[in-house]
């Protein structure tokens, strides 16, 4: 897409979209939203960049191999955090009984491992979206 | 009472949008109408006390879906035959 206004506006807008997405991911255990909503926001900002500036610029910022690696890392982090509880207590994703500190209610660093899980889900969703779009654009870029 | 009427107005707008998407021949206009449909749907989710669904609907329904449809239209033709 070769339009000056679209490029300028999206260049101004993308950092704020990403900041809002990261805010929602980090506050997933306190307010509404969480891993999926915040990850979808971050992923949609990456998709906007890929569509406005083209596939080549997008792959320069975030190569396909790296985003594939990050995508698998999100799932792996979720499973590993779940298995910590399974090894220590005996049930998958056990939180307080496995020794995670619950902290003070309502603060950012609280609720044990749930912020880590939300972060893993957010990373997974965001990188899945950009991987999907890059694969779709690459499929018919032979023209 | 006030909120109920607001809900009714939103639902009527949704029905009008859905019929307009189906009737229009210009696919670009149809995509924009579909984005506005998603936006009003997200306001409706907010009034139904589901703010997380509203967030997801606004991000995916109005954002990502519109982007993907626009890419498809830019690869094919704009007008329906």
Q: Is the pLDDT of residue B20 over 60?
A: yes
Per CB-CB distance under 8 Å, the chain A contacts of B56 are 36-37, 40
Range of the domain at B15: 2-75
pLDDT score for B51: 87
Task: Tell me which of A58 and B15 has the higher pLDDT.
Answer: B15
Residue B80 inside a domain? The answer is no
Q: How confident is the model at residue B3 (pLDDT cuts 50, 70, 90)?
A: confident
Chain-wide mean pLDDT for chain A?
Answer: 84
Residue B54 inside a domain? The answer is yes
> Among candidates B76, B55, B62, which has minimal Cα distance to B32?
B62
> Among candidates A79, A81, A71, A87, which has minimal Cα distance to A123?
A71
How confident is the model over B25-62, as pLDDT tens digits?
A: 888 999 999 999 999 999 999 888 888 888 888 888 88
What ipTM describes this predicted complex? 0.76
Per CB-CB distance under 8 Å, the chain A contacts of B60 are 40, 44
Q: Check if the beta carbon of residue B21 is closer than 8 Å to that of residue B37.
A: yes
Per CB-CB distance under 8 Å, the chain B contacts of A48 are 63, 67
pLDDT score for B67: 85
Q: Is the pLDDT of residue A143 over 60?
A: no
Query: How far apart, in whole angstroms, are the C-alpha atoms of residue A43 and residue B59?
Result: 10
DSSP output for B21-70: HHH-SBHHHHHHHHHHHHHHHHHHHHHTT-HHHHHHIIIIIIIIHHHHHH
Task: Tell me which of A63 and A99 has the higher pLDDT.
Answer: A63
Task: Tell me which of A142 and A114 has the higher pLDDT.
Answer: A114
> Among candidates A132, A129, A7, which has minimal Cα distance to A57?
A7
pLDDT score for A12: 92
Residue B81 inside a domain? The answer is no
Our CA-based measurement puts residue A40 at a distance from the nearest CA of chain B, in whole angstroms, of 6
Number of structural domains in chain B:
1
Q: What angle do CA A85, A68, B57 make, to 5 degrees?
A: 80
Q: Please state the rounded mean pLDDT for residues A85-90.
A: 81
Interface residues of A toward B, Cβ cutoff 8 Å, are 1, 24, 32-34, 36-37, 40-41, 43-44, 47-48, 51, 129, 133, 136-137, 140
Q: Please state the rounded mean pLDDT for residues A32-59.
A: 86
Q: How confident is the model at residue B12 (pLDDT cuts 50, 70, 90)?
A: very high
Number of structural domains in chain A:
1
Per CB-CB distance under 8 Å, the chain A contacts of B65 are none
Our CA-based measurement puts residue A32 at a distance from the nearest CA of chain B, in whole angstroms, of 5
Share of chain A above pLDDT 90, in %: 13
How confident is the model over A2-45, as pLDDT tens digits?
A: 788 988 998 999 999 999 999 999 888 888 878 888 898 999 89
Q: Do B64 and A32 touch (CB under 8 A)?
A: no
Query: How far apart, in whole angstroms, are the C-alpha atoms of residue A22 and residue A38?
Result: 6
Range of the domain at A52: 4-139
């Amino acid at each position: 897409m070769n339009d000056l206004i679209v490029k300028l506006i999206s260049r101004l807008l993308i950092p704020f979209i990403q900041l809002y997405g990261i805010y929602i991911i980090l506050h997933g255990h306190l307010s509404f939203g969480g891993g999926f909503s915040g990850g979808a926001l971050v992923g949609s900002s990456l998709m906007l960049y890929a569509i406005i500036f083209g596939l080549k610029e997008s792959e320069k910022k975030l190569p396909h191999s790296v985003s594939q690696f990050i995508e698998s890392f999100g799932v792996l982090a979720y499973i590993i955090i779940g298995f910590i509880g399974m090894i220590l207590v005996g049930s998958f994703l056990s939180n307080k009984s496995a020794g995670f500190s619950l902290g003070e209610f309502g603060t950012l660093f609280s609720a044990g491992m749930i912020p880590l899980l939300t972060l893993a889900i957010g990373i997974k969703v965001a990188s899945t979206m950009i991987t999907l779009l890059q694969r779709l654009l690459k499929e018919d870029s032979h023209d | 009472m006030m909120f109920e009427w607001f809900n009714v107005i939103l639902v009527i707008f949704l029905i009008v949008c859905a019929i307009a998407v189906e009737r229009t021949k210009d696919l670009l206009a149809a995509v924009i109408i579909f984005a506005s449909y998603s936006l009003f749907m997200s306001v409706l989710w907010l009034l139904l006390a589901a703010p997380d669904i509203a967030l997801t609907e606004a991000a995916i329904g109005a954002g990502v879906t519109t982007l993907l449809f626009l890419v498809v239209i830019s690869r094919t033709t704009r007008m329906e035959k």
